[in-house]
A = this chain, B = another copy of it.
């Protein structure tokens, strides 16, 4: 299988280098989607650029649209502005703004300059909305008709421009005011048009006072609306009440999925943007290292507690075995509580101010699990060294630190959220530093207290 994959990439490379445009387009069309993504992301920059210059523009667009965003950005970065422009122009309204938003400003401007002024202006406007808002998520391909239209006018328009609308989601059409400001005044359901007399004015058929959202509404708000109502799409209006786009249920769901994926990376310590193994080594390495360097410093601070108790440690060297265990287990207990808090925050089941509730709930779990883990560790240490006081020291330190970790892990994400610091990013390092320090302190100070009984 590895050999087959290698062949596939070699075939693609040789086709690119031969410059056979038609063969290349056919080859890409025949490949399963997942292989296209895999193969293209593994080409070197030069081959990528040549590939997109050779591919049929519609095929090139489809490929770009199917790549994960960071990969798509990387490809577009390496094309000439004219090549990039012809691809970007044909992408859906939300995708092209997303893509250009990730480029350096000079690159984005160069590409926009190759487009028609109207299209460029439209994309520029979309780029001003935050990606997490209704404005950032909406599409601009929607149907709207002025309020003086009749049902017949609408049907004729649909008939005449049917081809242009073929990609549109035309479950609904919108009725806007006829003036210069196209204010949203109603929603037309396609199925109501089917049943209406053709001579009637569309304002008689439309749903009045339609539900709409403002451009600046955040994705969570939209998610809740779609969760509780059966809409497929909602009209988006700007501050003047003018209809500017439609946000679909699917694009909100996709955005939330992307968010979860990014939380996953952040918790794993991949920060400063997504990482793919096709990225250059320097970028991957330096981003990871910035995170690791911070952690090593925090670790050194925590471990310096151990240095304060060197005399105790020399006399009861067995403690050195238990220090990493207590550090690691506290991390585990705390991370469980962090995971539950992050999840409850995402689902809106908890308010960031409810620290007391979380502490109550977590301390209950912490006490039960702390006693269990403490007893287990005490048992192991007594079996090993035959000294019940060693068991007492190690076991009670483990128990107390488990309770502390559960409570801290539960509240840290809430506190960070309130202070507008990303909880997925910062909760882990803060937790482990504090619980390590407390764990080391508990074991070693208890041991110092019982030193006579331990030696």
**Chain A positions near chain B (C-beta within 8 angstroms):** 1-2, 5, 33-34, 37-38, 41, 62, 65-66, 68, 71, 155, 158-159, 162, 165, 167, 169-171, 190-191, 193-195, 224, 226-228, 230, 232, 248-250, 253-254, 256-257, 260-261, 263-265, 267-270, 274-278, 281, 284-285, 288-289, 291-293, 295-296, 299-300, 302-304, 306-307, 310, 313-314, 317-318, 320-325, 327-329, 331-333, 335-336, 338-340, 342-344, 346-351, 353-354, 356-358, 361-362, 364-365, 368-369, 372-373, 376-377, 380, 384, 432, 436, 440
Q: Assess the B265–A264 pair: CB atoms within 8 A.
A: no
Minimal beta-carbon separation of A90 from chain B (angstroms)? 13
Indicate whether A194 sits within 8 Å of B324 (C-beta atoms), given known contacts A167-B230, A314-B317, A354-B2: no
A248–B66 alpha-carbon span in the complex (Å): 19
A191–B235 alpha-carbon span in the complex (Å): 20
Q: Assess the A276–B349 pair: CB atoms within 8 A.
A: yes
Residues on B with C-beta less than 8 A from A373 are 289, 292-293, 296
Q: Assess the A317–B327 pair: CB atoms within 8 A.
A: no
Residues on B with C-beta less than 8 A from A331 are 328, 331
Minimal beta-carbon separation of A319 from chain B (angstroms)? 8
A285–B336 alpha-carbon span in the complex (Å): 11
Residues on B with C-beta less than 8 A from A170 are 171, 191
Q: Assess the A348–B380 pair: CB atoms within 8 A.
A: no
Q: Assess the A369–B264 pair: CB atoms within 8 A.
A: no
Q: Assess the A34–B348 pair: CB atoms within 8 A.
A: yes
Q: Assess the B274–A343 pair: CB atoms within 8 A.
A: yes
Residue of B nearest to A2 (CB): B353
Oligomeric state, in copies = 2
Q: Assess the A292–B329 pair: CB atoms within 8 A.
A: yes
Indicate whether A194 sits within 8 Å of B158 (C-beta atoms), given known contacts A261-B346, A292-B332, A324-B299: yes
A228–B59 alpha-carbon span in the complex (Å): 11
Q: Assess the B277–A361 pair: CB atoms within 8 A.
A: yes
Query: Closest 6 A-B residue pairs measured CB to CB?
Result: A268-B339, A260-B260, A253-B253, A257-B257, A285-B368, A249-B250
Minimal beta-carbon separation of A163 from chain B (angstroms)? 11
